Structure 1
Amino acid sequence: MAIDISGRHHENDIFFRVYAGVLVEIKADRIVHVEKIDVMVKEEETQKLRDIVKEVKELIDKVGDEFDYILCERGEFFNISKDIISAILKKEVIFPKTRGELEAINIAHHVSYSVRKLLIEEKRKS
């Protein structure tokens, strides 16, 4: 599962984070197809490692456990060793090495960013 978290900066005394989880069939050079996309929205006052880990665990529970590893950018877990994060999440964490893996993260990024942007626009209207 490729993940991305949008909204990791403080706005109006709150962290408005959107998590995207994307299950894909992947080859080294491309995405074969997207199997599932899921999002989760959190509004919190803090953004510590424990918050991100807890919320990623919630995303895993929401998406289901039918994937082999978590694919993410190095910074998603504050540059903590992927071995430590893997042990905490009980899922292997990997960083992208191939074009296909980079594309998977790019899809997750577009989903999280776009959903967050739409939700912020809706909040401003109401």
Structure 2
Amino acid sequence: MDISGRHEENGEYLMVAAAVHARIDSTRIRSVEGMGFATVREGPTLEATLALVAEAVGDLPEPPEGPVVSERGEFYEEPADVVGLSFQPEFKYVESIGERETVQAAHHAAYAVRDLLL
């Protein structure tokens, strides 16, 4: 998952979260099973970010079988076990190249949707 739009523009916020449900191996994406999106116009706080991501993950066509994965900065460097309390089945930060590629796909999707909404 990835979030675009944590910065204020013209006195407003528009954060877009994209969740990508993908089948991966250690080095690449094998298939994309679906995408989920959510938006919010409030400022970026940990609570708002957790709720936004939970909504995007909930928007996936099917619940993920594996963990929700993100870059550490998405959740303000909070430990994975703290962030993980908000997600099922589990949460972790990026560890493999395949996970990084999936987060990158989510980044492009979130940015594109945000561009469409502005």
TM-score normalised by L of structure 1: 0.84
Q: Does structure 1 residue 48 correspond to structure 2 residue 27?
A: no
Residue ranges of structure 2 left out of the alignment (5+ in a row): none
Measure the CA separation in 1 of the matches of 2:14 and 2:73: 18
CA RMSD of aligned residues (A): 1.5
Higher helix proportion, which one?
1
Per-residue CA deviation, residues 43-94 of structure 1 (Å, 9 max, x unaligned), is: 22x2211111112222222224333211100011111101111023344221
Describe how 1:1-126 pairs up with structure 2 within 5 A: 3-44=1-42, 46-63=43-60, 64-120=62-118
Percent identical residues: 32
- Structure 1's consecutive aligned runs of 4 or more residues displaced over 3 angstroms after TM superposition are none
Residue ranges of structure 1 left out of the alignment (5+ in a row): 121-126
Measure the CA separation in 1 of the matches of 2:64 and 2:96: 22
Higher strand proportion, which one?
1
Count of paired positions? 117
1:85 alignment partner AA = V
Structure number with greater Rg is 1
TM-score normalised by L of structure 2: 0.89
Measure the CA separation in 1 of the matches of 2:67 and 2:14: 26
Secondary structure of the 1:52 match is: helix
